Every structure is written in C-alpha cells, then in structure tokens.
Amino acid sequence: MTNVKVSVLMPTCNRAKLLGRAIQSVLDQSFQDWELIIVDDASTDETPKILKEWQEKDARIRVITNAENLYPDISKTLNKGLEFAQGEYIARLDDDDYWCSKDKLKKQVEFLDARPAFMVVGSGVIVINGEGMELFRYLKREHDGEIRRHALFANPFSHTTVMFRKNIALEVGGYGPWRFAEDWDLWLKMGTKGKLYNIPEYLAVYMLAGQNKSFTYQRAQGKMILEFLKRHKREYPNFIFAYLLNLGAYWYSFLPLFIRRGLHSSLSHLKRKVF
C-alpha cells in the first residue's frame, strides 16, 4: 500500500483467542485510511491461520512473520513493523487490547494534522481483567508541560493508545535497544523533537491479566528502566526523585512472586492514578 495516512502496528504471538477483538476494533474505525501491519512473533498456535482469514477479509491487513521468536526483545519486532509501514502516522495496538471508540484514529489524525509541533498523542484507558470486567480507568497527564514534569516518574503514555509521527520516530532511531519499556524510551526521545499530548478521553481498553508477559520479567524491566532514565536525565526535570521512585520499584521486584501477584492490580491502579 502507498500513500496511506495511518499504519496501525500490532505485534502478536500465540494470542489466537484474543486477536480478533483487537483487529475488529481497527476495522470498526470511522477513519478508514489505514493499513494494519501485524508482526507475528513466530506463533505456534492457531494465530497464523486466523491472520490468513483476516487478510482474506480485508486487503489492508498485512502480516509479517518472524523466523524465530524474539520475545522479550520486542523492540526488534516493532522496528521491523516500522520498516514496513507506509503511513505518515503510526498507531500502536497490542493484540490483547482494543479500541473502544470508533473515532479514536479520526481524533488523533485531526489533532496531529492541525498541530505540526506535536510528536505523540495518546489518550486515557479503561483497564479490564481477563474476563472483560472493568477494574478501573485512568487519564494520563494531558498537556506537554505537565507531561514533561512527570515523564521520568512513569511512562507518560499508554502504548496501546498512541499515534505518533513515523518520520520523527525513525529520526530518533525508532525503538531503542531495550527489552522492556521500549515505548517509554521512544516517547522520551521524541519529546526532544517536539510536544507531547494526551486526549482526555477513554479511547482504548487495556487488559491487565496473567497473559501480560512483562509481569514475569518485572525485575529485568525495573533494572532496564533505571538504565534508560539515566540517559535522559538532562532532557527532563526531576531526575533524582524519579530515579529513587523507580529504584524502589526495582527493589519491590525482589519480593516473593505470590506477594507481587496479590498486589499487582491495586499497585498498578495506584501508580496510574498518581502518575
């Protein structure tokens, strides 16, 4: 496809039962000038078959398959998707999440078209469990100034809500060499090129459940976050306080797994509410 406005980028692996919901939320968008690039990270379940069926339904769906599973090094998978993307803008969607507003793409395209100084636009999120029950919802900080003041404390965007300028993402090197929180690092890099914004509406649904693999790698993720925060300490304020907060999160990862599992949902809610 050429001259498409938005490339929707979705990595997937062994999510045959959830994939259709995410794809359908793209097809249901009121804004239709898009392509959906799905990068299959060497799935071993029914995912390849399901993807082929969706491709037959809509030619805008493009599938790229990794020769071998790259997880948890998801940056390589995402950068492969960026390489194939034809759109001016990139919208991200995870395979276990979905967009709950049919105007999600429309609102973000209109925002970026009208404001060339802005690099990334996200939105609020509704969080559900594995059974589809709402747990809580939250809005990320809206305006560029407040986003910057808190950018080192916690990820300023929910990955599954964002739309960003492809050319700027490529200019700053795409997703960096991080196996975890790769999106957070990308927003910090893109924030050095222009402004950041979150639409104060709930446009996406995020599933907080056992299949979110990052929970398994919490300790490694915490250590990696501390590393890339140090790289951005001169670009954003409040580095010391943010570093100490994330150092505490890293120490928390040493608690027994059963304690962390029991606290996971409530602490996730608290972190998103505060930051």
Q: Is the pLDDT of residue 151 over 80?
A: yes
Answer with the residue of higher pLDDT: 221 or 172: 172
Could you read off the pLDDT of 18-50 as tens digits, one per residue?
Answer: 999 999 999 999 999 999 999 999 999 999 999
Supply the pLDDT for residue 214: 52
Task: Identify the bridge partners of residue 196 per DSSP, sorted by sequence position.
Answer: 120
b/e map 212-248, b = 16+ CB within 10 Å: beebebbeebbebbeebbeebeeebeebeebbebbee
Which residue from 255, 175, 183 is spatially nearest to 215, judged by alpha carbons? 255
Residue-range domain boundaries for the chain: 6-274
Supply the pLDDT for residue 2: 67
Q: Using 50, 70 and 90 to split pLDDT, how confident is the model at 257?
A: confident
Q: What is the mean pLDDT of residues 208-233?
A: 81
Using an 8 Å Cβ cutoff, are 180 and 72 in contact? yes
Q: What is the mean pLDDT of residues 224-230?
A: 94
Model's pTM, two decimal places?
Answer: 0.94
Q: Using 50, 70 and 90 to split pLDDT, how confident is the model at 267?
A: confident
Could you read off the pLDDT of 174-215 as tens digits, one per residue?
Answer: 999 888 889 999 999 999 999 999 999 999 999 987 544 555
Answer with the residue of higher pLDDT: 89 or 272: 89
Who contacts 40 (Cβ-Cβ below 8 Å, separation ≥6)?
12, 13, 47, 48, 51, 63, 64, 65, 66
Q: What is the mean pLDDT of residues 210-232?
A: 80
CA–CA distance, 100 with 221 (Å, rounded to integer): 29
Take residue 155 and report the two structure tokens written for it: 């990820």
Q: What is the mean pLDDT of residues 100-111?
A: 98
Supply the pLDDT for residue 215: 58
CA–CA distance, 106 with 99 (Å, rounded to integer): 12
CATH class of the domain defined by 6-274: alpha beta
What percentage of the chain reaches a pLDDT higher than 90?
A: 80
Q: Is the pLDDT of residue 88 over 90?
A: yes
Who contacts 185 (Cβ-Cβ below 8 Å, separation ≥6)?
175, 176, 178, 228, 231, 232
Supply the pLDDT for residue 1: 57
Q: Using 50, 70 and 90 to split pLDDT, how confident is the model at 3?
A: confident
Residue at 229: amino acid letter: L
Supply the pLDDT for residue 75: 93
Calculate the average pLDDT of the chain: 93
Q: Please report where in the chains the tokens 């379940």 appear, as a residue.
A: 45
Q: What is the mean pLDDT of residues 123-134?
A: 95
Three-class secondary structure assignment of the chain: CCCCCEEEEEEECCCCCCHHHHHHHHHCCCCCCEEEEEEECCCCCCHHHHHHHHHHHCCCEEEEECCCCCCCCHHHHHHHHHHHCCCCEEEECCCCCEECCCCHHHHHHHHHHHCCCEEEEEEEEEEECCCCCEEEEECCCCCHHHHHHHCCCCCCCCHHHCEEEHHHHHHCCCCCCCCCCHHHHHHHHHCCCCEEEEEEEEEEEEECCCCCHHHCCHHHHHHHHHHHHHHCCCCCCCHHHHHHHHHHHHHHCCCCHHHHHHHHHHHHHHHHHHC
Supply the pLDDT for residue 141: 97
